Structure 1
């Protein structure tokens, strides 16, 4: 036998060597084929990626141009807000009102890139003289128009915010004297729409200012736009305008410019090219041609966008292709190694098969132990659904012994027909994995139990008598507990729905009320005031002193009613506006409010003490409104007090207070202070609408805080408030 084996070994070694050489040849073919397919794929995909990169560049350029349009649209909305401010006012708004409007826009954060907003008055020589006289009467000095000279029409800058040294120097400049500005102003006047100027030098940066563009919005005497061009010129009172510099437009206006894109904007209105701006990286070289060009019609001007790509036109997919090529080469080498390794696996396969047999026996033993000691009932079924084997937990759930369970149909223990699932659906679920259901099981003593069933097919040979494993979990107690929880949840949900309906109805009623106030009530007031003004102007000579007094009272009452409507609308907006919480410097806010109050009544001598370093978190606009009302009330009710004193400070626990030594009030009626239109003083003593403190209370409640008031007649008043829930003492 040993001699026979020795003679057969060389042949066996030859066969093994031949199989090894064949494996080497097959591995080499696999390597060459893989490398060829990777190369062909990389060539086609590279061309496709270059086309995609070009399309992506064009899409990015179009998006950038659309972003510029959207930014200009935001500028337009800010101008239209200024137009609405002028249209709503009886006279031209004061510089303080204009400053308040521009401060509310928060240009630096909300409209980056915009230098500010100004107002240009449309004047003839007569109206210019009246304006200069009115400015002199208000103590603001002589209003001087530059450049000097007598002209038929003027377009003088009346005010501009935010105010800077260069913008103050531009007040009085006649923009109508400049042909470029005048063209845009006439276009806005005749069309009634916002119009852009051609590129020019901005006076907001002195005589040597940088290049930029002006945006003009016409303001008419009436809210309704006149039909004819002559009528529009007659009704025009001025323009709201906004300048922005070309060099800062892309930097500060948050226009998203990729590092690989450069562009310029050229004004091509009328066929004449006027460069407007160019981004960093733009090249005017002859060979640096634009990769993409598009045009936009913007506010009466035609802008052309030229786009260049900085560097090579590639995409992220090219790097992926390179990685794919490397991965393909590596995969080819791996396949080569795998083919060689397969030649050595045959002998190892027999060893692994023997090991798998031992592993299978150990796995079966572990399964038997798991069934025996599991707390969940388990049964093994044959293809007819008959119980082949069960565990002790299943016998306990069914209330019988394991011997009784064997040989019986498992479905005979189920008391219900189960969910609306067909036999076909159950079989399909079993083939895909596990079929889960909840059923009722009837014990031998007649007790019904809620059980969860988890069925799965048992892999095995065709002649095996075990086809399915079913796990049975008794969840009766858990189901009963869940039923109780669901009952409580339904009760709670019904209550929440009822409260939600009530709140929704209240919000609808508030919106309807605000609409009625802002539309239906203002119309008759305007009629009363308008006809009253006509009577005062045209029939003054026909009315005696008593009639004129009656007419004045009618107009004053209409004005008070209009003021009450404004106050009511403001109070309703406080509850419905957007809430933005941020860190606040209350000391600075209070100082600004006191400064404004001193400017309104410079003759008063009031001692004001504001504690330094008062900090809080809340909505800046709402908290500013709160301080204006509280400090304004303290200022108003100390008007008749000698040595008037106002103090703003804080107490432990996040409590702030405003106190004064003014007229005060009876503490028994403190609850009326925070109700709308409830006043404790006569109107002839202290003017007001009675909604200021009601607004204060709503602002505090929106911040989750509380407010209270105390005082004595003739001894002043104190208001304490918080801007967050007061922490409870522990």
Structure 2
């Protein structure tokens, strides 16, 4: 028989080629994969650019924040200088030098040229100032520039005493328009004011951009409420000159030295360059630009930021691991998928030829089972009706420590140390179901016993084949050991927590004992000081002059004040002592009782009182009475001297359903910028002569609220009153309260 007449052989299927549909499918895979690659690449590109832009904007926010924070530090230094004028009418150069040295300004603020004072004098007062200065032994005070002007502001005090600063003494800053505008604004507003860009007199021919910050000083250290009163009480300015380049370098501290930005003063409607970065590639086109506006003490700055070029701003767009490489990889993958699809199409044609010789369902089922058994990481074995191993996969051999072929014919129970038996070969699969157990097995290599988790499931065998079940064996030794270690660690941590709790309790007790011991030891010398001062006054008062008697009176007053501060310290310490006795209390009734006590103690002050009835809370009654006594007592004190004084105690319901109580008054109020100082011990925002007190009331209130697990906050404005809001656990407001808006 010739070759052409021979019947088809199985090897002939190798000549099968993909059908037209296979080519179309492969082409569709190529097009679809290319679309997915390009869409994914574009989305990743935009995401990377957006992320880089967000990081760039975040860095600009950090730079602006550092500039603003450092300028605020300058204001605090000036306010410290103004506080010196509250104690003396005009500090001497020695006193001013001591204050400046104490600040350590050259180390803390290297951008500062100095810290100085300039008095505000009229033309008629100028000769008097020059005479006083000369008679005090400080030499001749020459005013520059010369000329007749209605008012002068010569530099009188300036530290440190460098040659440049000494040469600037006597310079009339009020004669220069930019400086005069800032000084006039500070005098009229009573607040610190910043100048526009100027050339500092200390720089000489070096015309580096400089700025000056002024703080007004009024007579007796007060802060007049009206513009006319401020002009009448004006004494001068505490000021600090600084260079913009040094200020930016100091504020950023080298953290953002590679940032590109420019700072313009735009207060007067025109752009005045204050600062620009000096980078070698500044001319390169930036990838992003961002502009921020900053308001500093009456001046408005515009800060323009430029990012590096796109390749530097978004480095993931290029490079070995960049998006361009990923795009190339995606294209290669698309081509590979096309090749795979074409090969699969060709395989499909071959499979159609082979499908004539076998049942497709049986082949695939058998292949899945064999693959699952052979390549599974979990040990598996087929068992007969007597519990013997008919077939085992390599994973089971690795777990047991023997070759899987040697396990065939062995009883499964022989592999374990314990005697718990699996329900093998009894009943049908539906009756038996799945059985699980954890058992210890012998390791063939003589190692330590290991733990295995067994899962038995009944499976049918082929016709004439004695196969009744499938058992899966998973080595869980390391997992059980890890769980044991976790339990041991938990017990250790619990013991450590108990130990730390005992140590903390002992430390608190020692601190309380120390506070009481210190207070007791301090009272004896205070009583001695007060007693001997009183004896000196009574027995030898006629031998002392007025100054001596005044000194003794001040000593007794200071001793009394020290005693009051000790009592205040003990009062704060008592708040944290003792166990809370939580009960249902009537806040409205307690507030009314506190108000009655205030009226009895100060009959001359009669503010309008508004207490919302029916306010209750679950709290310690004694501590809450202390809390309301401090809040209502503060409101009572700070409404004294107010037209139409009014105090309100009520509550509102917040959006989350909790009740927030509040004490509101229309008294002296406080600057909102200093709200954090209110709740610190001995921090006061008003002079002792204006409103007496020790500065512990609100600190006590905060500790009481926090002991109950609540929160407290304050809102206020100078001359417009204050509101204190707090929460307590388990509070329940009276029916009909409107939710907080």
Relative to the length of structure 2, the TM-score reads: 0.50
Please give the alpha-carbon distance, in whole angstroms, between the structure 2 residues aligned to 1:228 and 1:148: 33
Please give the residue correspondences for 1:98-113 in structure 2 after superposition, counting only pairs within 5 Å.
98-107=96-105, 110-111=108-109, 113=111
Q: Residue 228 of structure 2 is aligned with which of 217, 230, 237? A: 230
Please give the residue correspondences for 1:99-248 in structure 2 after superposition, counting only pairs within 5 Å.
99-107=97-105, 110-111=108-109, 113-124=111-122, 132=130, 135-136=133-134, 139-149=137-147, 151-206=149-204, 209-248=207-246
User: Structure 1 483/324 Cα, relative in aligned 2: closer, same or farther at 3 Å?
Assistant: closer
Unmatched tracts of structure 2, length 5 or more: 352-362, 376-391, 403-410, 425-432, 439-449, 461-467, 534-540, 567-741
Q: Residue 502 of structure 2 is aligned with which of 495, 510, 535? A: 495
Aligned to 2:469: 464
Query: In structure 1, the residue corresponding to 2:300 is in which secondary structure?
Result: strand
Aligned to 1:363: 395
Please give the alpha-carbon distance, in whole angstroms, between the structure 2 residues aligned to 1:193 and 1:483: 58
Aligned to 1:440: none
Report how far residue 61 of structure 1 moved: 4.5
8 Å CA contact 2:114, 2:159 repeated in 1: yes
User: Structure 1 134/469 Cα, relative in aligned 2: closer, same or farther at 3 Å?
Assistant: same
8 Å CA contact 1:265, 1:304 repeated in 2: yes
Aligned to 1:85: 84
User: Structure 1 199/127 Cα, relative in aligned 2: closer, same or farther at 3 Å?
Assistant: same
Please give the residue correspondences for 1:511-590 in structure 2 after superposition, counting only pairs within 5 Å.
546-548=544-546, 550-551=548-549, 553-554=551-552, 557=555
User: Structure 1 98/563 Cα, relative in aligned 2: closer, same or farther at 3 Å?
Assistant: farther
Q: Residue 330 of structure 1 is aligned with which of 307, 329, 332? A: 332
Report how far residue 188 of structure 1 moved: 0.6
Any idea what the Cα deviations from partners look like across 1:150-188, whole Å, max 9, x if unmatched? 654332223333443212211221212222212211111
Any idea what the Cα deviations from partners look like across 1:245-298, whole Å, max 9, x if unmatched? 2344434431865857443413332x344443333479999x999955554432
Query: In structure 2, the residue corresponding to 1:143 is in which secondary structure?
Result: coil
Please give the alpha-carbon distance, in whole angstroms, between the structure 1 residues aligned to 2:37 and 2:20: 26
8 Å CA contact 2:144, 2:172 repeated in 1: yes
8 Å CA contact 1:281, 1:310 repeated in 2: no
Please give the residue correspondences for 1:300-339 in structure 2 after superposition, counting only pairs within 5 Å.
300-308=298-306, 311=309, 315-316=314-315, 318-319=317-318, 320-336=322-338, 338=340
User: Structure 1 235/6 Cα, relative in aligned 2: closer, same or farther at 3 Å?
Assistant: farther
Please give the alpha-carbon distance, in whole angstroms, between the structure 2 residues aligned to 1:506 and 1:282: 65
Please give the alpha-carbon distance, in whole angstroms, between the structure 2 residues aligned to 1:48 and 1:488: 49
The alignment's C-alpha RMSD in Å is 6.0
Query: In structure 1, the residue corresponding to 2:68 is in which secondary structure?
Result: helix
8 Å CA contact 2:38, 2:327 repeated in 1: yes
8 Å CA contact 2:262, 2:273 repeated in 1: no
8 Å CA contact 1:203, 1:209 repeated in 2: no
Any idea what the Cα deviations from partners look like across 1:193-242, whole Å, max 9, x if unmatched? 11011222111212654222211111223344112223223333321212
Please give the alpha-carbon distance, in whole angstroms, between the structure 2 residues aligned to 1:52 and 1:479: 40
Report how far residue 71 of structure 1 moved: 2.9
Please give the alpha-carbon distance, in whole angstroms, between the structure 2 residues aligned to 1:29 and 1:498: 74
Please give the alpha-carbon distance, in whole angstroms, between the structure 2 residues aligned to 1:478 and 1:66: 48
Query: In structure 1, the residue corresponding to 2:220 is in which secondary structure?
Result: coil
Please give the residue correspondences for 1:651-666 in structure 2 after superposition, counting only pairs within 5 Å.
none
Please give the alpha-carbon distance, in whole angstroms, between the structure 2 residues aligned to 1:24 and 1:512: 96
Aligned to 2:645: none
Higher deviation after alignment, 353-362 or 95-104: 353-362
Please give the alpha-carbon distance, in whole angstroms, between the structure 2 residues aligned to 1:511 and 1:323: 72
Please give the alpha-carbon distance, in whole angstroms, between the structure 2 residues aligned to 1:408 and 1:44: 57
8 Å CA contact 1:264, 1:279 repeated in 2: no
Equivalent residue pairs, number:
480
Query: In structure 1, the residue corresponding to 2:153 is in which secondary structure?
Result: strand
Please give the alpha-carbon distance, in whole angstroms, between the structure 1 residues aligned to 2:123 and 2:153: 11
8 Å CA contact 2:459, 2:470 repeated in 1: no
Report how far residue 111 of structure 1 moved: 3.7
Aligned to 1:38: 37
Aligned to 1:656: none
Any idea what the Cα deviations from partners look like across 1:91-113, whole Å, max 9, x if unmatched? 53444554454455454564454
Any idea what the Cα deviations from partners look like across 1:65-123, whole Å, max 9, x if unmatched? 44433332222222222222333x33534445544544554545644544332222334
Report how far residue 55 of structure 1 moved: 6.4
Please give the alpha-carbon distance, in whole angstroms, between the structure 1 residues aligned to 2:560 and 2:172: 36
Aligned to 1:268: 267
Relative to the length of structure 1, the TM-score reads: 0.51
User: Structure 1 489/210 Cα, relative in aligned 2: closer, same or farther at 3 Å?
Assistant: closer
8 Å CA contact 1:290, 1:306 repeated in 2: no
User: Structure 1 337/268 Cα, relative in aligned 2: closer, same or farther at 3 Å?
Assistant: same
Please give the alpha-carbon distance, in whole angstroms, between the structure 2 residues aligned to 1:98 and 1:388: 96
Any idea what the Cα deviations from partners look like across 1:645-668, whole Å, max 9, x if unmatched? xxxxxxxxxxxxxxxxxxxxxxxx
Query: In structure 2, the residue corresponding to 1:18 is in which secondary structure?
Result: coil
Query: In structure 2, the residue corresponding to 1:39 is in which secondary structure?
Result: helix
Please give the alpha-carbon distance, in whole angstroms, between the structure 1 residues aligned to 2:457 and 2:81: 79
8 Å CA contact 1:159, 1:171 repeated in 2: yes
Any idea what the Cα deviations from partners look like across 1:136-161, whole Å, max 9, x if unmatched? 56544333332345654332223333
Aligned to 2:74: 75
User: Structure 1 96/253 Cα, relative in aligned 2: closer, same or farther at 3 Å?
Assistant: farther
Any idea what the Cα deviations from partners look like across 1:542-588, whole Å, max 9, x if unmatched? x98744364255267469869999xx9xxxxxxxxxxxxxxxxxxxx
Please give the alpha-carbon distance, in whole angstroms, between the structure 1 residues aligned to 2:339 and 2:260: 46
Report how far residue 299 of structure 1 moved: 1.4
Report how far residue 309 of structure 1 moved: 5.4
Please give the residue correspondences for 1:416-435 in structure 2 after superposition, counting only pairs within 5 Å.
none
Query: In structure 2, the residue corresponding to 1:142 is in which secondary structure?
Result: coil
Please give the alpha-carbon distance, in whole angstroms, between the structure 1 residues aligned to 2:83 and 2:5: 109
Please give the alpha-carbon distance, in whole angstroms, between the structure 2 residues aligned to 1:469 and 1:49: 45
8 Å CA contact 1:75, 1:114 repeated in 2: no
User: Structure 1 110/148 Cα, relative in aligned 2: closer, same or farther at 3 Å?
Assistant: same
Please give the alpha-carbon distance, in whole angstroms, between the structure 1 residues aligned to 2:490 and 2:198: 77
8 Å CA contact 1:267, 1:276 repeated in 2: no
User: Structure 1 324/226 Cα, relative in aligned 2: closer, same or farther at 3 Å?
Assistant: same
8 Å CA contact 1:458, 1:469 repeated in 2: no
Query: In structure 1, the residue corresponding to 2:505 is in which secondary structure?
Result: helix
Please give the alpha-carbon distance, in whole angstroms, between the structure 2 residues aligned to 1:187 and 1:488: 64
8 Å CA contact 2:212, 2:242 repeated in 1: yes
User: Structure 1 83/332 Cα, relative in aligned 2: closer, same or farther at 3 Å?
Assistant: same
Any idea what the Cα deviations from partners look like across 1:451-487, whole Å, max 9, x if unmatched? x998574689575264787979899x99999999799
Please give the alpha-carbon distance, in whole angstroms, between the structure 2 residues aligned to 1:173 and 1:211: 18
User: Structure 1 325/459 Cα, relative in aligned 2: closer, same or farther at 3 Å?
Assistant: farther
Please give the alpha-carbon distance, in whole angstroms, between the structure 2 residues aligned to 1:474 and 1:244: 67
Please give the residue correspondences for 1:397-476 in structure 2 after superposition, counting only pairs within 5 Å.
402=419, 405-406=420-421, 457=455, 464=469, 466=471
User: Structure 1 326/288 Cα, relative in aligned 2: closer, same or farther at 3 Å?
Assistant: closer
Any idea what the Cα deviations from partners look like across 1:666-719, whole Å, max 9, x if unmatched? xxxxxxxxxxxxxxxxxxxxxxxxxxxxxxxxxxxxxxxxxxxxxxxxxxxxxx
